[in-house]
Structure 1
Amino acid sequence: MASATILFVPCWESGHFMSMVTAGKRMLDASGGALSLTVLVMRAPTAAKASEVDGHVRREAASGGLAIRFLNLPAVEPPTDYAASEEFNFRYIQRHAPHVEEAIAGLSSPVAAVVVDLFCTALLDVAAGELAVPRYVYFASTGAFLALMLRLPVLREHLNETTGGTVNVPGLPPVPMSYMPKCLTGSKIGNYEWFEHYGRRFMDTNAIIINSSVELEGEVLAAITDGRCVPGRPAPTIHAIGPVLWFAAAREQPQPHVCVQWLDTQPPGSVVFLCFGSKGFVDTAQVGEVAAGLERSGHRFLWVLRGPPVAGSSLPTDADLDAMLPGGFVARTRGRGLVWPSWAPQKEVLAHPAVGGFVTHCGWNSTLESLWFGVPMVPWPLYGEQHLNAFELVRVMGVAVRLKDDMDGGRAEPFVEAAELERAVRGVMGGTEEGRKAREKAAEMKAACRNAVAEGGSSCVALRRLVSEISPSGGGAPLSP
């Protein structure tokens, strides 16, 4: 009989998809060959996202070395009857349930467990009934966001808790409303209901696998485990196996990337790196403020500047630097600054000894990379749960210098003035006591991340325990990031 397989159903977003696949590869390593991995691939609802996923699958399939099989599910029609973006995602994913059942029925290997992305709880019931195998959720974000999602029903019932300026998230200091995830705020209906629904379904699983660690989020993970998030109901087991770091494959080129070559010419710890993720884009007015702040800071910088998305896409394009940057900026900062208009190898940049600070959108994958390499941050959250991530970085971990934004003037997005960016950049590069403390804490977190996944570390132990739940013969080699 073929060895048992773990069935993974990831979301199509790159940060979710590749984080989950990387976690699966770790599980295979830890199983010592006792398990295989089957990944069911949903067709993303947009052509750009579908192309991204196709590229990930091709690269993973070509790399070989592990027992991983990718199965493409048949395409489904996107729903047209929805009131909020999360309702669209839920209903679109729900339409894949019959195809998931068919894929399982066609497998030659017995299914040892089903693991779904945090947004794919509509598919949890596929593992119930006749299949009757353990059900897991893979949570690609923070323990803080998980605690908040589990807490959402209570917050709904006691909305007065959110009107006094702070929100009570077990395991965290009081969280100001300004740090609440933007995917939950702005309306008491819509997305909130769907995130609340996801949180309720998490409680129906055998366990939650999370891309975090006790070393990073000990108090909040303990609050979840102790049942403080959902009163009167024990929480599922939490397997904190992070940091699970997905590093985008370097583009094929005969020599190091231009950004890396430029960093090679800079003094150690002298460059502040600005990058806002795969969806990060700011308008021309904001670009002007960033340019002025960087110029006045006097520090060296590497700025990944992207252009606006094309119609029908959420992904930025290559920037037209002549059109977006203030006149004369490139000439005035030549030698100490590089503005790069396209994709950049973030891992190689953060790992480079010339980089001393990171202005980031606070996506959790980018945050973990920065922590892994011990780079202090300036949080500039844009969407999703990133504001809550910024709160943790500044108020809980102490690895970041706060960046204040201005929501006046009826702007849809936070606006950062040049003087504020100048202050934060000078701080994170060690010019203030706050910045010096952030640099010290970032160095401590670098060691903590690596200790967590080392032999005997908390994440290594958690991974072994997880695999043993699924396969009693689980065991294996030490982890890698």
Structure 2
Amino acid sequence: MAIMAAQKSVILYPSLGVGHLNPMVELAKLFLRRGLAVVITVVDSPDKDSVSADAIARLAAANPDIAFHLLPVPFCGREDYPHAVMRIMDVMRVANPALREFLMGALPDVEALVLDMFCADALDVAAELGIPSYFFFASALGYLAIMLRLPEYYPAAPSPIKDMPETVLHFPGVPPIRALDMAATLQDRDSDIAKARLAQCTRMLEARGILVNSFDRLESRALEALRCGLCTPRRSTPSVHCIGSLVLPGNTGGISERHACLEWLDTQPDRSVVFFGFAQELSISLALSNSTRA
């Protein structure tokens, strides 16, 4: 697939699984509205959990202005992972040579490379080719504030949080959190998965910026903490850009009829609805008014 040389392009690079691809499609629409061409590069791995060809075909048919490029990569070489997240990281690491080859063919018309948070190893490819790199963080700003603080916070903690479940943890910009409510992959800081996650969070600071599916009035405290460097006191924080909410009013995903639950929500008083959004590992509850509901 060739990229039109007359138009600057943004390359979006999601992690494995449709759950990571769908938010990137919504982000792609935002770039399209700003006059940029968009290519979503999808890893096609022989490992399980790769996005199916049928899913990509459906998304491509529903979004003809977005180009999709399959990136074939070899088997990563092992199956005995202590956690699925570590397998995902390995697959994305193995994909680096194929990503490099694709990007080299697209230069010089690539404006930026936007990475899923599990694609941190692709930073090496972007740096080698001189392409500005950004992360897309589809979860809340508060979660980002915690994740960027953890690499310095955890080593200084008196004991692993798995040993102090009722202890209240304090992070800049977010309400106090019980240790037992932290992500399961981070409960034991000495585990391989926790070390991998902390390394991933550290590498996010290498990006030029972080795009977050939120807006400042919703999470102003977390945004201020991030922009003031409170979450990364020893290192510079990349610029944080609030771009949410990405799912715009009227975006029905190809469904012509409006769902009955939306009709019910419209009849509720302002600020009377609590939305519970379950991220991959951290559940977040936000009180939303009718005016801020996507």
Same fold (TM over 0.5): yes
Counterpart in the other structure of 1:110: 109
Counterpart in the other structure of 1:386: 282
Q: Considering only aligned residues, what root-mean-square deviation do their CA atoms show, in Å?
A: 2.9
- Cα gap change, 1:198/1:248 in structure 2, threshold over 3 Å: closer, same or farther? farther
- Matches of residues 308-387 of structure 1 in structure 2 within 5 Å? 348-353=259-264, 376-377=273-274, 379=276, 384-387=280-283
Counterpart in the other structure of 1:126: 125
Q: Deviations over 1:318-355 (max 9, x none)?
A: xxxxxxxxxxxxxxxxxxxxxxxxxxxxx824312278
Secondary structure of the 2:87 match is helix
CA contact (8 A) 1:182 1:385 kept: yes
Percent identity (aligned): 26
Please tell me whether residue 447 in structure 1 is matched to residue 286 in structure 2.
no
- Cα gap change, 1:105/1:226 in structure 2, threshold over 3 Å: closer, same or farther? same
CA contact (8 A) 1:170 1:229 kept: yes
CA contact (8 A) 1:79 1:91 kept: no
By relative contact order (CA 8 Å, sep 6+), the higher-ranking structure is: 1
Please tell me whether residue 15 in structure 1 is matched to residue 14 in structure 2.
no
Please tell me whether residue 142 in structure 1 is matched to residue 39 in structure 2.
no
Counterpart in the other structure of 2:179: 177
What TM-score, normalized by structure 1, do the two folds share? 0.53
Q: What letter matches 2:121 in structure 1?
A: A
- Matches of residues 27-426 of structure 1 in structure 2 within 5 Å? 27-30=31-34, 33=35, 35-43=36-44, 49-51=50-52, 54-64=53-63, 66=65, 68-80=66-78, 82-107=81-106, 110-129=109-128, 131-160=129-158, 162=161, 163=164, 165-185=167-187, 188-245=190-247, 249=253, 348-353=259-264, 376-377=273-274, 379=276, 384-387=280-283, 389-390=284-285, 393=286, 399=287
CA contact (8 A) 2:89 2:119 kept: yes
**Deviation at residue 379 of structure 1 after TM alignment:** 4.7
Q: Provide the aligned length of Structure 1 versus Structure 2.
A: 282
Structure 2: runs of 5+ lacking an equivalent: none
Instruction: Return the structure number with greater strand share.
Output: 2
Give every structure 1 segment of 4 or more consecutive aligned residues whose post-TM-superposition deviation is greater than 3 Å: 44-49, 81-84, 161-164, 246-252, 354-357, 377-381
**Deviation at residue 356 of structure 1 after TM alignment:** 8.0
Structure 1: runs of 5+ lacking an equivalent: 257-346, 358-372, 394-398, 400-441, 450-480
CA contact (8 A) 1:356 1:375 kept: no
Secondary structure of the 1:39 match is strand
Counterpart in the other structure of 1:333: none
Q: Deviations over 1:218-244 (max 9, x none)?
A: 101110111111112221100110111
Q: What letter matches 1:155 in structure 2?
A: Y
Q: Distance in 2 between matches of 1:44 and 1:355?
A: 43
Instruction: Return the structure number with greater helix share.
Output: 1
Q: Distance in 1 between matches of 2:91 and 2:252?
A: 27
Q: Distance in 2 between matches of 1:384 and 1:191?
A: 15
**Deviation at residue 8 of structure 1 after TM alignment:** 1.1
- Cα gap change, 1:82/1:182 in structure 2, threshold over 3 Å: closer, same or farther? closer
Q: Distance in 2 between matches of 1:175 and 1:233?
A: 24
What TM-score, normalized by structure 2, do the two folds share? 0.84
- Cα gap change, 1:47/1:88 in structure 2, threshold over 3 Å: closer, same or farther? closer
Specify the structure having the higher radius of gyration (Cα): 1
**Deviation at residue 76 of structure 1 after TM alignment:** 1.9
Q: Distance in 1 between matches of 2:275 and 2:114?
A: 34
